[in-house]
Amino acid sequence: MEKKIKILSVFGTRPEAIKMATVVRELQDQSDAIESKVVVTAQHREMLDQVLRVFAIKPDYDLGVMKPGQDLFDVTGAVLAGLKPILDRERPDMLVVQGDTTTTFAGALAAFYFQIPVGHVEAGLRTYEKYAPFPEEINRVMTTHLADLHFAPTSQAREALLKEGVTAERVFVTGNPVIDALHLALQRPYHMEPELERAFTENKRVILLTTHRRENLGSPLQEIYLALRNLLYNYPDLAVVFPVHKNPKVRQEVAQVLQGLPRVYLTEPLDYLPFINVENRAYLVLTDSGGVQEEAPALGKPVLVLRDVTERPEAVAFGTAKLVGTNRHQVEENVARLLDSREAYDAMANAVNPYGDGQAAPRIVQAIRSYFNQAPPPEEFRPESKRYQMPEARAQIPEND
Ligand code: UD1
Ligand code: UDP
């Protein structure tokens, strides 16, 4: 019997957990060949725990680094210090990180200091703008240079890596596990709070809004919210569902502009299952989130991206996503166009899956095993070779269940 390879998955925020959930499950499923360990940094606390509950992930280690008002120095320092004794004790064969957060970068750096190989999920996303998004663009560039295996979600991401000199044999186009998670979640029954359900029963069209990017804090957020205030005034059949990020700097702007307005449904961050079902039932999506930008096209929802640049150009190229920035008038005009013109709406409402086919996690795990000569390399994800349909969403769990 071959020696098992020990893989340590490290993540800390909500989106990392969602995108690592199926990877962790796949690692655990192959327990005949793999010993899987999970470390959460808890850079996010409540928003991370929501995801751990949904996917029944029980971390082996929890660094508990989150503190109110944390800055980049706090998180970077705490993750490095927290990982040191764990890596020293566990000495995994590979450490796997996901995405572009401070946890991602500091996790990869800690592994490098122990000369432990690093696998990077969602590698090769680029805007080529140092401060947009901040600090994510540089986090992922640095993670690329610390990593040994690169799981690119799309062929465009692979090209970006090759241009930076990454060895082609170390890059695998796998698709993004965000689509694996979405696929699983749509098949599970969900519960929606009655207050939120009313948004859909009492209004004709619902916009789903999420905002949290650091570079949008302050006046860009105010601009976005002011645009929505005008739109609500001009379109009496319109409602906005807005699960507000836990960041107090986001909450402060929301309180100033949107709190208390009719047809604005402000909620705490939603659990993943109700969230994606809101996304699935919404008329359109307005967001500065990375993950939501990937999910909405798979659900056939037009998505207006509240940023000037994106590292996810594929859905823009397919016509399902559009960059609208944060200027009040720009946002208002773009939303109004989709509300006024059926033609404009239909042109964007295409279900496309440039980001995956629901099989990213098995490919990633196979690529890891191929690195250790346990398996052949996986077949690549090719969106054009397979029209992948999302499953129909399940019905809601009745209120008295
Ligand atoms: C982080 C990531 C960003 C990612 C986002 C996903 C960095 C630098 N940023 O941004 O790339 O897109 O997560 O949401 O890694 N907070 C809570 N409870 C929580 C979560 C956060 O109170 O469950 C508070 C924190 O205490 C902090 C603030 O929200 O004061 C911001 O959290 P932080 O992780 O530093 O940055 P995000 O903006 O969430
Ligand atoms: N999400 C969620 N509940 C919410 C808002 C978002 O579960 O109230 C999920 C969403 O489905 C997506 C992910 O969180 O998969 C996106 O996370 P976020 O926007 O915080 O981070 P980003 O993707 O921008 O890094």
**Are residue 202 and residue 141 in the same domain, yes or no?**
no
Has residue 185 been placed in a domain?
Answer: no
Has residue 283 been placed in a domain?
Answer: yes
| pLDDT exceeds 60 at position 133 | yes
CATH number where 234 lies:
3.40.50.2000
**Are residue 255 and residue 345 in the same domain, yes or no?**
yes
122 is catalytic: yes
| pLDDT exceeds 90 at position 350 | no
**Are residue 91 and residue 221 in the same domain, yes or no?**
no
| pLDDT exceeds 80 at position 122 | yes
- Which tens digit of pLDDT belongs to each residue from 74-90? 999 999 999 999 999 99
- How remote is the CA of residue 16 from the centroid of ligand 2, in Å? 9
| pLDDT exceeds 80 at position 344 | yes
- How remote is the CA of residue 168 from the centroid of ligand 1, in Å? 33
133 CA closest ligand 1 atom index: 11
DSSP 401: -
**Are residue 227 and residue 336 in the same domain, yes or no?**
yes
145 is catalytic: no
241 torsion bin: left (phi>0), alpha (psi -120 to 50), beta (else): beta
343 is catalytic: no
Query: Mean of the pLDDT values across residues 7-11?
Result: 99
Angle (deg, nearest 10), helices 290-298 and 272-281: 50
Has residue 182 been placed in a domain?
Answer: no
pLDDT class of 398 with cuts at 50, 70, 90: low
**Are residue 161 and residue 203 in the same domain, yes or no?**
no
**Are residue 43 and residue 165 in the same domain, yes or no?**
yes
**Are residue 134 and residue 10 in the same domain, yes or no?**
yes
Q: Which ligand is nearest to the CA of 241?
A: 2
- How remote is the CA of residue 61 from the centroid of ligand 2, in Å? 23
Residue whose entry in the numeric block shows the structure tokens 């800390």 = 12
**Are residue 16 and residue 149 in the same domain, yes or no?**
yes
Q: Which domain holds residue 130?
A: 5-176+356-371
**Are residue 270 and residue 361 in the same domain, yes or no?**
no
Please, are residues 242 and 267 in contact by the beta-carbon 8 Å criterion? yes
| pLDDT exceeds 70 at position 73 | yes
| pLDDT exceeds 70 at position 388 | no
329 is catalytic: no
**d(Cα 153, Cα 131) in Å, to the nearest integer?**
22
**Are residue 252 and residue 338 in the same domain, yes or no?**
yes
- How remote is the CA of residue 14 from the centroid of ligand 2, in Å? 6
Q: What is the pLDDT of residue 384?
A: 66
Identify the active-site residue in 136, 253, 279, 295. 136
Domain count, the chain: 2
191 is catalytic: no
